[in-house]
Every structure is written in structure tokens, then in C-alpha cells.
Amino acid sequence: MMAIAWTKAALALMPRIITRRSVIKNAPRRFREQYTDGARRSHTGESYSQMHEKLASIDLETCDRSAIDDVIGNNSWTQLTCEICDCDREALVSIPREYSEPISICLECAKGVQAVFEDAQS
């Protein structure tokens, strides 16, 4: 009984990969959910409904991030920023935490942490 409860908790806290492609694929939906007033104009001068239509016409499986960025007028919706080094990366691992928001880190920072462990053991 105790072991099963522990396993469920461990599964809930399993790290997962976040890729640039997944961020690109989710960007139009997230943008639509944030900007629901389609009649309102954005800083680009277009209405949000025009922007939603343009975003909906993009092939999210193959497009570059610039296709999204050009419609929105900035690159904040396709960024994937490591919370340790602040670099914009192609992939991060999101590490859930029991009592806080997950933390997302890049492979380079994870390797840096590993190196500290290895140095401590030698």
C-alpha cells in the first residue's frame, strides 16, 4: 500500500521534455486563450481575430518559429528559456516540484550539475 502511494507520487513528479516544436504547436492556442477579444487591435495594428486567423493558417508541424513570431510581432511566444542560464534553447526538461511550480532547465545546465556531483565523488 505504501509503495503504491509512493509510486504514484513519483510518477506525478517525473521530469518531461519540452521541445521548441511543442512550444510552436501550442503557441496559437495559448495566444487565442490570452487574447479573446478579437475586435481589439494589437500593437501590430491588426485585430486579434486577424492574428488568430493568420496563426491558424500556419502549418505547425513544419514551420519555423519566425512564422509565429512574425504574426505576433515578437518572439516571446516561441521562446524556451532555461531557468538557470536564461538561454533560449531548443529543448528543456521540466522538473515538477511537490509544492512549487515546475522548474525547466537545459541539457547544458543539467550537465553542469552532473559535473558537480562527479567532482564531489572523486
Site of interaction with Zn ion (CB under 5 A): 82, 84-85, 106, 109
Between residues 68 and 106, which has the closer beta carbon with respect to Zn ion? 106
Contact 49, 38 (CB under 8 A): yes
Least CB distance to Zn ion at residue 70 (A): 27
Least CB distance to Zn ion at residue 112 (A): 8
CA–CA distances in Å: residue 17 to residues 21, 52, 91, 99: 11, 27, 7, 20
Between residues 78 and 104, which has the closer beta carbon with respect to Zn ion? 104
Least CB distance to Zn ion at residue 115 (A): 13
Closest CA to 77 of 36, 17, 30: 30
Contact 106, 91 (CB under 8 A): yes
Least CB distance to Zn ion at residue 32 (A): 30
Element (H, E) at 70: helix 65-72
Between residues 13 and 113, which has the closer beta carbon with respect to Zn ion? 113
Between residues 58 and 84, which has the closer beta carbon with respect to Zn ion? 84
